[in-house]
Amino acid sequence: MNEYRCPVCGGELVWDYERGEVTCSRCGLVVDRIYYYGPPRMTEEVREKERESLRRHYPKRNKEFREYRIHRARYYMARKYVEDKPWLEVDYDKVIETGKMIHSIKSKATIEAEKNIGEKDLWEPINRTLKLIEETYPIALARTKRSKYALAYIVYKYIKEKKYPSDREVVEIFKISGTSYKRLLKVADKIINILTAKPVAI
């Protein structure tokens, strides 16, 4: 007879792990007992008491473990976001610290542009001009970081020298395209027209 069938009626056998018995689904005969040779099994009530004991006796360890799990989740979230985007770079320390990807993920071109701004000591005039643009024509800043920096530089140079910087200079520093430069010039014209209505010092 099939070992998975009842020896009396041929019914299908059922493993009842809660009772620890093998019974016939047709006649109810207890055919065998389930033997377990592993470590003693705990009930859910015993498990919960053990977890509570760990929380009570090792609060610091549990806190560190929770933080580790959160940090790991944030890391994988950021890595997944950029895995097929080789032009992006992630500041993983910032992602792990803040839990936000905004200002933590930048294009390589933006990183290079920011490096150029620092090397040419342009942060102070660019930031002052950005603030000026925000006060006079804020809609102009609804663009990428590189474009905002480039726009501020174009406006700053015009106010200081009464002429716009060359497309080659702006493209090289801010890593934008020649087409973007032409668009920014049109926006810069509008800003300059607003600013020329009153004296401006930068």
More confident residue, 109 or 171: 171
Q: Which of 103, 119, 140 is the last residue of a domain?
A: 103
**Would 12 be classed as within a structural domain?**
yes
In this predicted structure, what is the pLDDT of residue 118?
Answer: 94
Provide the number of structural domains found in the chain: 3
- Per-residue pLDDT, averaged over 180-195, amounts to 92
pLDDT at 139 over 50: yes
Residues 169 and 139 in one domain: yes
Residues 124 and 138 in one domain: yes
CA-CA-CA-CA torsion for 136, 139, 144, 148, nearest 10 degrees?
-20
Residues 154 and 167 in one domain: yes
Domain extent at residue 19? 1-41
- Per-residue pLDDT, averaged over 10-21, amounts to 78
pLDDT at 48 over 80: no
pLDDT band at 1 (very low <50, low <70, confident <90, very high): very low
Q: What is the CATH number of the domain that holds 183?
A: 1.10.472
Residues 89 and 113 in one domain: no
pLDDT at 146 over 50: yes
Residues 6 and 77 in one domain: no
Residues 131 and 157 in one domain: yes
Q: Which of 77, 103, 129 is the last residue of a domain?
A: 103
Residues 85 and 116 in one domain: no
Copy the structure tokens of residue 79. Answer: 């890595």
More confident residue, 16 or 34: 16
Residues 84 and 142 in one domain: no
Q: What is the CATH number of the domain that holds 3?
A: 2.20.25
Copy the structure tokens of residue 41. Answer: 């099994």
pLDDT at 61 over 80: no
In this predicted structure, what is the pLDDT of residue 130?
Answer: 94
Residues 127 and 181 in one domain: yes
pLDDT at 59 over 60: no
Residues 51 and 129 in one domain: no
CA distance 2 to 73: 50
pLDDT at 54 over 70: no
pLDDT band at 92 (very low <50, low <70, confident <90, very high): confident
- Per-residue pLDDT, averaged over 35-51, amounts to 64
Q: Which of 103, 121, 150 is the last residue of a domain?
A: 103
CA distance 96 to 104: 10
Q: What's the mean per-residue pLDDT of the chain?
A: 81
Residues 124 and 178 in one domain: yes
Residues 180 and 117 in one domain: yes
- DSSP E strands in the chain: the ranges are 13-16, 21-24, 30-33, 88-90, 105-107
For 184, counting Cβ atoms within 10 Å of its Cβ (0-12 exposed, 13-18 middle, 19+ buried), the class is buried
**Would 126 be classed as within a structural domain?**
yes
More confident residue, 157 or 51: 157
Percent of the chain's residues with pLDDT above 90:
34
- Per-residue pLDDT, averaged over 155-172, amounts to 93
